[in-house]
Amino acid sequence: MRILITGSSGQIGTNLALRLLRDGHEVFGIDKRLNTWSEAFPYLLQDLAGHYAPFPGGVNGVEYPETDLVVHLAAHAKVHQLVREPHRALENAMMTFNVLEYARQGKIPIVFSSSREVYGDVHRFEEYTEQVANFAYTESTYSASKIAGEAFIYSYARCYGLPYLVFRFSNVYGRFDNDLHRMVRVIPLFIHSMLRGEPITIYGGRDKTLDFTYVDDCVDGIVRGIEALAEGRVVNQTINLAYGKGNTLVRCAERIAAELDVAPRITLAPSLLGEVTHYVADLTKARELLGYDPSTPLDEGIARGVAWFLEHRAAHPEEDAPVLADHEGALGTGSAWKTAAAP
Ligand SMILES: NC(=O)c1ccc[n+]([C@@H]2O[C@H](COP(=O)([O-])OP(=O)(O)OC[C@H]3O[C@@H](n4cnc5c(N)ncnc54)[C@H](O)[C@@H]3O)[C@@H](O)[C@H]2O)c1
């Protein structure tokens, strides 16, 4: 297949693109930033968040290559950043709209990356199946942007017959996630801080429990979805993709410390505004519809993640610097193709 991935310079996008290439698919990406991890696939540098005039072959008058399926991952993906800067939540919705318009005009099936954040802080529910999302409890502007994205997808399916799959991810970690000076994520931040002998802060207290997903499991679920959607086996479904077990953030920090052979210095603090403090995914639907069977428990995933981090840090010692804030590098609104490096 010829698969277009938006957000292809990000963590999930890069891992997914490389896996699809290995599986024999053609991949091309779109992102507003250069890909700092890989030169293996071509991509377009383009800001997808503008208010653009309709154009059938791509977004903002740029003709995209022939595409069989779109995986839409591009987003501002940090809860706290969007609470501080809510206009970015609207940009998320705008990106989804632009990509949906492209998909509608070309009749191209779409996979959308939603989040467990759409459930809100799920202590209030006893079971966390896909149906329990209650949008009256929108926890943050980031959640709102994902709920808006899902709503647009569902409306395009109803009004225009556009086939879709929506995946709700949860705390994806592993390879290509330690560009902390662009975007702070909790697991690589803890590794980074502990390596520097700095204390770490756990917001949400000792009981904060999340469903951490090793990136290869997440990518495996997406690939199963792509294949099922393209074959018409599984269409118009919303599916949780996670590991399916909860771990406290404290345990996660302790596992990282054990892998690094350091004593962690942990400060507990109240949860931040908009934060989800308890989530464990029900994976019944993913297992039944896609045969999804995540294979990397937290201990093993942390060991792999730490090993990858150390290898990467050894090649980039300059990244051993204080992490100040989670802000993204922007590239303006121009567009230019980047081609794959010669094999
Ligand atoms: N990683 C997780 O734990 C997780 C959990 C739930 C949902 N998600 C969702 O999955 C998707 C991928 O997540 P990720 O972890 O790879 O995030 P990421 O930040 O690593 O990748 C997202 C990419 O989108 C790009 N992007 C942002 N704004 C853009 C714009 N205006 N135009 C073009 N590109 C733009 C960014 O440059 C970035 O490379 C996101 O939609 C995110 O919200 C991720």
Q: What is the pLDDT of residues 13-49, one digit of tens each?
A: 999 999 999 999 999 999 999 999 999 999 999 999 9
Q: pLDDT confidence of 276, banded at 50, 70, 90?
A: confident
Residue among 8, 31, 91, 116 to mutate when testing ligand 1 (max atoms within 8 A of CB): 31
Q: How far is ligand 1, taken at its centre, from the CA of residue 10, in Å?
A: 6
List the alpha helices (DSSP H) in 8-78: 11-22
How far apart are alpha carbons 209 and 79 in whole angstroms? 17
Q: pLDDT confidence of 121, banded at 50, 70, 90?
A: confident
Reading phi first (left if > 0) and then psi (alpha if -120 to 50, else beta), residue 274 is in: left
Residue among 16, 30, 32 to mutate when testing ligand 1 (max atoms within 8 A of CB): 32
Higher per-residue confidence, 58 vs 119: 58
Distances (CA, A) of 84 to 47, 93, 183, 244: 21, 17, 14, 30
Give residue ranges with CB within 6 A of ligand 1: 7, 9-13, 31-33, 47-49, 73-77, 91, 95, 113, 115, 169-172, 183
Q: How far is ligand 1, taken at its centre, from the CA of residue 77, in Å?
A: 5
DSSP 8-state symbol, 111: E
Q: How far apart are the first and last CA of the chain?
A: 20
Residue 31 bridge partners (DSSP): 45
Q: pLDDT confidence of 298, banded at 50, 70, 90?
A: very high
Q: How far is ligand 1, taken at its centre, from the CA of residue 13, in Å?
A: 8
pLDDT of residue 14: 98
Distances (CA, A) of 173 to 61, 97, 334: 35, 27, 31
Q: How far is ligand 1, taken at its centre, from the CA of residue 113, in Å?
A: 9
Q: How far is ligand 1, taken at its centre, from the CA of residue 263, in Å?
A: 32
Q: How far is ligand 1, taken at its centre, from the CA of residue 73, in Å?
A: 5
pLDDT of residue 339: 57
Higher per-residue confidence, 335 vs 227: 227
pLDDT of residue 47: 98
Residue 247 bridge partners (DSSP): 210
How far apart are alpha carbons 189 and 336 in whole angstroms? 32
The candidate with the shortest Cα–Cα distance to 91, out of 146, 29, 11, is: 146
224 sits in which H/E element: helix 215-231
DSSP 8-state symbol, 40: S
Query: Relative to the CA of 183, which ligand 1 atom is closest?
Result: 19
Query: Relative to the CA of 176, which ligand 1 atom is closest?
Result: 20
pLDDT digits (tens, 9 = 90+) for 314-331: 999 999 999 864 533 333
| CA 308, 311, 315, 320 torsion-angle sign | positive
pLDDT of residue 119: 87
How far apart are alpha carbons 319 and 208 in whole angstroms? 29
How far apart are alpha carbons 126 and 276 in whole angstroms? 15
Contact 144, 86 (CB under 8 A): no
Least confident of 200-214, 247-261, 298-312: 200-214
Write down the mean pLDDT value for the chain.
Answer: 91
Q: How far is ligand 1, taken at its centre, from the CA of residue 7, in Å?
A: 6
